[in-house]
Amino acid sequence: MNLALSDEQEFLRDAARGALARHKTIDAAREAADGTELPDLWPVAVEAGWPGLLVSEDNGGAGLQPFDAMLVAQECGRVLAGVQLLGHVPASFLLDRGGYARIGEIADGSLRAAFCAARPPGDVVEEWTVEPRKGLKRAAAPSVSGDSVSGEVAWVPDAPGAGVFVVIGVEDGRPVALAVEGAAVQDAKVYDHTRSLGHVTFDGTAGTRLDVSPEQIASAWYIAQALIAAESVGTVETGLEMSIEYAKERFTFGRAIGSYQAVKHTLTEVLRQSENARSLLLYAGWAGEESAAEFPLAASAARAAAGSALDYAARATIGVHGGIGATWEHDAPYLFRRAQLSRRLLGGTHDAVDRVAGELLSSAA
C-alpha cells in the first residue's frame, strides 16, 4: 500500500509546473477573451515530451501510464494552459496500440492528434454515441464501412489544426477506431477561450483502421474523462489558493474576511471537495493501469467529483472576492469560464455521474 508519487512522478509534475510558469497563461486567457490569438503552447508540450507520454517506448514514446498524463493535465489546469493534450493523449493511446504507421511523429509531437470520442454503451443507452451540436439527446456515432467513415462529432477538443483524427465509429454495431488524416473541421471555440474546439465532419472520408479492441476504445474515453478530472482539480487548487490569500488580506467590519465562518466554511468545503476529487484521481490512475474492469467507475467518479469541485470552487472564488471577483481584470472569471465549459464537454459531468450509478447498478444486479 503506497499512494505516494514516485520520484519520477514528482519530477514530471515539477517540470510541468516549471515549464508552464514561463508563460502568462491566465493573462493570455483574458486577452484571448478579447480577441487576441492564444499563444501556441504545443512547442512547450513537445519539448517536455508530453505528446509521447502514453506511447510505448518501442514506438518512441515514454511508455508511461494514464496517471502520469493526469499529473501533467493537472498542472495545465492550474494555470489554464491551453495545451492540446485532451485531444492528443487519448488519441495517442489508440494510435499506439492500433499499429498506426506514423506513431513516431505522434510520440515526438510533430504530428498532433485529436480524438473524436464516442461514449461507450451503458445500462440505459446501449449504443455508442457522440456529442450532438445541441440538446440533451446524444448523437449516433459515425458509421464506418471498411476504411471510410461518415458522420459528425461536435465539440471535439483540440480539433482545429490537428494533423490526424482518431474517430470512433460503428460498423455492424461494433465500435471501430479509424485514423483519418483529413477531415472537415469547423472552429467551435466558445466561452472558455483557452480551450480549442471544433465540429468534425466525415463524409465517406478514408482512414486507416486501428487494430484495437472495443475495451481499448472504451478506455480511451475514460482516459479523456480522467484527464478532464485532473485538469479540473488543478484549476480548483488555483481558485483555493487565490481565495485564501484574499481572505487573509481583505478586512470588513474590523476583521479579515477569512475569520468569518461563512468564508471559512466555504473554503473548507472547497478543500473537502478537492481532496475527495484528488483521492479519486488516484483511484482512476490506479485503475487505468491495473484494472480495466474498474476504470469506467473510477474515471467517471473522478470526473464527477472533480467537475463538481470545480463548479463549486469557481463560484466560491468569485464569491469570496466580492464584486471585484466578477470583473474582467480579475483572474477568477477565467476559472469560471473554464468550469462552465468543461462541465459540458465529452458527455459532461452529468453523464459521468450517471455512469457511476450505472456501473454500480450493473454490478449490484
Partner 1 sequence: MDLNDSPEQAEYRTKVRAWLEEHKGEAPVLRGEGALTDENEIVAARRAWQGKLAEAGLAGVTWPKEFGGQGLGPIEQVIVNQEIGAAGVPGILDVIGVGMLGPTIIAHGSEEQKSRYLGPMLHGDEVWCQLFSEPAAGSDLAGIQARAKQTDDGSWVVNGQKVWTTNAQFASFGLILVRTDADVPKHKGLTMFVVPMDAEGVTIRGLRQISGEAEFNEVFFDDVKLPADAVCGQVNSGWGTALTTLMYERVTIGLGSEGLGYNSNRFAAAIGADPEARRDSDVRHRLGEIATELLSIKFTGYRTLTALQRGQIPGPEAGLAKVTTVNAAVKAGDLIADVLGPEALADDGEWSYMISFLPGLKSAGGTEEILRNTIGERVLGLPPEPRLDKGIPFSELRAKEKEAVAS
> Binding mask 208-247 vs a second copy (x if CB under 8 A, - otherwise)?
----------------------------------------
Q: Is 341 near partner 1 (CB under 8 A)?
A: yes
* Single-letter residue type at 363: S
The three cell numbers of residue 108 are: 515526438
305 CB-contact burial (10 Å; exposed 0-12 / middle 13-18 / buried 19+):
buried
Q: Is 2 near partner 1 (CB under 8 A)?
A: yes
Among 43, 263, 313, 338, binds partner 1 (CB under 8 A): 263
236, 229 contact by CB (below 8 A): no
Count of CB atoms situated within 10 Å of the CB of 123: 14
* C-alpha atoms less than 13 angstroms from C-alpha of 51 in its C-beta half-sphere: 24
Q: How far is the CB of 257 from a second copy (least distance, A)?
A: 11
Determine how β-strand 174-180 pairs with β-strand 208-209.
Answer: antiparallel
In the list a second copy, partner 1, none, the entry touching 101 (Cβ below 5 to 8 angstroms by class) is none
> Binding mask 260-299 vs a second copy (x if CB under 8 A, - otherwise)?
xxx--x----------------------------------
> Binding mask 268-287 vs partner 1 (x if CB under 8 A, - otherwise)?
xx-xx--xxx-xx-xx-xx-
Among 239, 258, 310, 338, binds partner 1 (CB under 8 A): 258
Q: How far is the CB of 263 from a second copy (least distance, A)?
A: 9
Q: Is 264 near partner 1 (CB under 8 A)?
A: yes
Task: Give the binding range for a second copy (CB under 8 A) out of 57-65, 258-266, 327-335, 340-348.
Answer: 258-266
Among 91, 197, 223, 227, binds partner 1 (CB under 8 A): 197
Task: Give the binding range for partner 1 (CB under 8 A) out of 105-113, 169-177, 205-213, 325-333.
Answer: 325-333
Count of CB atoms situated within 10 Å of the CB of 6: 10
Q: Is 305 near partner 1 (CB under 8 A)?
A: yes
In the list partner 1, a second copy, none, the entry touching 267 (Cβ below 5 to 8 angstroms by class) is partner 1
Per DSSP, 128 falls in state -
> Binding mask 26-65 vs partner 1 (x if CB under 8 A, - otherwise)?
-------xx-------------------------------
Dist CA 264 CA 259 (whole Å):
7
Dist CA 324 CA 335 (whole Å):
14
5, 15 contact by CB (below 8 A): no
Count of CB atoms situated within 10 Å of the CB of 203: 12
Task: Give the binding range for partner 1 (CB under 8 A) out of 13-21, 90-98, 132-140, 208-216.
Answer: 132-140
Q: Is 365 near partner 1 (CB under 8 A)?
A: yes
In order, the DSSP letters of 289-326 are HH-TTTHHHHHHHHHHHHHHHHHHHHHHHHHHTGGGGG
Q: Is 2 near a second copy (CB under 8 A)?
A: no
**Please, which of residues 236-255 interact with partner 1 by CB under 8 A?**
240, 244, 247-255
Angle between helices 295-320 and 214-249 (to 10 degrees): 20
Question: Which of helix, strand or coil describes residue 101?
Answer: coil
Among 301, 313, 331, 338, binds partner 1 (CB under 8 A): 301
Dist CA 117 CA 158 (whole Å):
12
Dist CA 57 CA 62 (whole Å):
5
* Single-letter residue type at 113: A
**Please, which of residues 144-173 interact with partner 1 by CB under 8 A?**
154-155
Q: How many residues bind a second copy (CB under 8 A)?
A: 4
Binding site for a second copy (CB under 8 A): 260-262, 265
